[in-house]
Amino acid sequence: MSDQLSTDLESMVGVWHDRLQAFDLHGEAVAEDPHGGTPGPFPYDNLVYCDFDGDVWTQSNVTFRGREPTTRTFQADVADGILRFRRLGPDAPPHIGVSGGPGLIWFVAESLHHPGLQQYSEPDLIRLDVSVDPARRWRYTALYRHGPLVRPMLVEGERLTTDTTKTHELDPRGADAPVHGEKSTTLQYRDHPQATDQRRDNDHG
């Protein structure tokens, strides 16, 4: 019998249209975010390609509206009901995905003791509309930089198709591009990151 996490990962397979909005600590919409893994304007839109073969989760986020087009790809492996992300970058702490119950997935650091989290931390909660409309999902994120909380983020997603064998027509990379890109890297966990890889921003989901 499949574990709850794998069941919910399987239910997310497809191509999603995510709209990302950031807010300050008083709930006011933020138009420009200097704190994220890739600083830039809000709101903006991603295509999110999600694949899961029962063992490996592969996700590519493609920005197509509101910011310059970028592609960010990462992978994770499921073992004993826990999703373990392959290393996100230099000095990055281990990250995992765990079930919060049916339709809820947490993407978080495995331990708060890792020193990289003093530079950058962004726990995510993904909520799937499993009972009414499985083509809808939400993601709630809190961003911490150098210790303090700096902003929350809300992502509202709609699944466009369950077909991940080809790029979607909204994809700025074109019809002949591979669905998933090269594995991306974040440098934000370093004490003094010199640059941010343009293929990686702060969203897992």
d(CA 18, CA 31): 17
Cα 47–Cα 53–Cα 59 angle in degrees, nearest 5: 25
Q: Which tokens hold the place of 42?
A: 């809000």
The per-residue pLDDT for 55 is 97
Amino acid making up residue 26:
H
- H or E segment and range at residue 84: strand 82-85
CB burial of residue 70 (10 Å; 0-12, 13-18, 19+): buried
Q: Which tokens hold the place of 100?
A: 């919060």
Superfamily for 4-161? Calycin beta-barrel core domain (2.40.128.20)
d(CA 19, CA 160): 13
Q: What is the DSSP string of 26-44?
A: TSPBPSEESSSSS-EESSE
- What digits encode the pLDDT tens for the residues 164-190? 999 999 999 999 999 998 877 766 777
Average pLDDT over residues 47-71: 97
Looking at the predicted structure, is the pLDDT value of residue 202 above 60? no
d(CA 126, CA 138): 6
- What digits encode the pLDDT tens for the residues 34-53? 988 788 999 999 999 999 99
182 DSSP assignment:
S
The per-residue pLDDT for 205 is 58
Looking at the predicted structure, is the pLDDT value of residue 14 above 80? yes
Domain layout of the chain by residue ranges: 4-161
